[in-house]
Amino acid sequence: MCAISDKEAQPIRTFVAVPVHSPALVAALESAQATLRQAGVRARWVRPGQFHFTLKFLGEIPASQVEVARAALERAVSGAGPFDLEIAGLGAFPRPDAARVLWAGCGDGGARLIQLAFRVESALVAAGFPPEPRPFTAHLTLGRLPAGGSTPQVAGALRRSARPSFGRQPVTEVVLYRSDLRPDGPVYTPLSRFPL
């Protein structure tokens, strides 16, 4: 009988996403974060190298389920070709005057991203993962405000920082990430890449 090590037995916090890799886009999103900071918005800001569009959050899963997720994602991307995605506009969940999450949205290509998220969701649910509790909303998180951290200035700061377009990039892959929560913010590590 083979003993399972503590490390293998620990669940892995995972999610599926489309990364932002265009240097021009990353710089434009960093600039939006800086403008929001200068307007007095206090948030835990997403690090520039970690900008992404989450397609599905799997949460903490046993290490044995990572292979199941990989096989499902292979099926999900089969036949899904690459496409261009524009990042445009800013907003907040649940709403600007009670912001908890600050985000950038999608312009052209947003419908293709939604289709891709649907494929990912369908394949993972078919493989036994629980369905998402809410409908998919295409967004890229820029920062998270602590409870009670929203101020009346947030809505105005979002209006001043928004751009009709931050830019665009080709979407060529879906990535299964590991997320390690640390005191200075989460660290995302790619576990597998799935080319479109």
Q: What is the pLDDT of residues 110-128, one digit of tens each?
A: 999 999 999 999 999 999 9
Q: What is the pLDDT of residues 52-106, one digit of tens each?
A: 999 999 999 999 999 999 999 999 999 999 999 999 999 999 888 888 999 999 9
Q: Which residues are catalytic, by number?
A: 52, 139
Instruction: Tell me the CB-side half-sphere exposure of residue 12, using CA atoms within 13 A.
Output: 19
Please check whether residue 59 is in contact with residue 14, taking contact to mean a CB–CB distance below 8 angstroms.
yes
Annotated domain spans of the chain: 24-195
Which of the residue ranges 25-34, 46-55, 140-149, 151-160 would you say has the lowest mean pLDDT?
Answer: 151-160
Q: Which two tokens stand for residue 67?
A: 């292979």
- Residue 23 falls in which region: left (phi positive, over 0), alpha (psi -120 to 50) or beta: alpha
Q: Which two tokens stand for residue 62?
A: 């046993």
For residue 17, the cross-strand partners are 54, 175
Which residues lie closer than 8 Å to 133 by C-beta, 6 or more apart?
A: none
CATH of 24-195, one of 3.40.228.10, 3.40.710.10, 2.40.50.140, 3.90.1140.10: 3.90.1140.10
DSSP H helix total and E strand total for the chain: 5, 9
Three-state secondary-structure class, residue 105? strand
